Structure 1
């Protein structure tokens, strides 16, 4: 196969969750950070003891060099401002919680990462879109010929949601 040609993408005849679709893209990045999988990052809120479930975030796992079957990596955590001293003091409790979750000695030491962390940065709240009267009229006109009531309502909801997206791009 010439270098210019890309292989045909693998077709799947089933629906996929976003997490499954992105897993192939995320796995190499996570492996560079020392994580074998997404579990520790995806389940951090369930793994970490309170209040560290909201004030810290795993940054990377660093494994001891030269030992093939070494247990006990160093977990580096991003920490919210003002929480670093508390997180460092409670490092053994955080390591124990991680090891308890996985059922074996995964983390031997917990250290703080120099990377910044802002709590709640992943939780952005969007205000609901209020469609204008002209948007409602356009969607109603486009769906008036649909006979099935449930289908018409679903198409109207979709049309109104899409009208909100297009108005954001213009504005």
Structure 2
């Protein structure tokens, strides 16, 4: 005679407690880029970027000459066959109008800058597409107000004992920034 399993033991399911990571809220305001940076990473990977960092730091990578008129679109990676090693990709850039001529002449330096940013030879070519570039907000701070004569004399009095000219100039700039914002 065949033994039937007991209902109490046959249908028992194992329950596990889910462990959620503790999320600690940072005090104060955070930049939007810090909050959504990791959520953009999968989207950026679809476009060929390893992460969204190249998009966020594009202005620093290419410098002020091309920061406003260019925008990275994607990196096209070559298909890999069996036994192939790493092959660098092609960076596809959007560029506005006549700036593309200047960009063509500076391609080698931009390739070097992008590869220095990645830390390895990630790209070896740039493809330029003449398309409008989305306007990005400027990261430049607003100019400081001029100091009053009293503030200038107070600042000079505070740094008069510094013998090194470069150090005095740096302290003067720092003091100007502190006094102008305060």
Cross-structure match for 1:102 = 118
Q: Structure 1: which 5+ runs fail to align?
A: 1-8, 125-171
Q: Structure 2: which 5+ runs fail to align?
A: 1-19, 139-182
How many residue pairs get matched? 116
Q: Are residues 116 and 11 of structure 1, via their aligned partners in 2, closer, same or farther at CA, if it must alter by over 3 Å?
A: farther
Hey, which bits of structure 1, 4+ residues long, moved more than 4 A?
Answer: none
Cross-structure match for 2:61 = 47
| Residue from 23, 42, 62 that aligns with 1:12 | 23
TM-score (norm 1): 0.57
Q: How does 1:1-171 map to 2 (within 5 A)?
A: 12-15=23-26, 17-67=31-81, 69-113=85-129, 115-118=131-134, 121-123=135-137
TM-score (norm 2): 0.54
Q: Are residues 17 and 41 of structure 1, via their aligned partners in 2, closer, same or farther at CA, if it must alter by over 3 Å?
A: same
Deviations, residues 136-161 of structure 1 (Å, cap 9, x unaligned): xxxxxxxxxxxxxxxxxxxxxxxxxx
Deviation of 1:25 after TM superposition, in Å, equals: 2.7
Q: Select the structure of larger CA radius of gyration.
A: 2
Deviations, residues 14-50 of structure 1 (Å, cap 9, x unaligned): 1365333313431121011100112211111111145
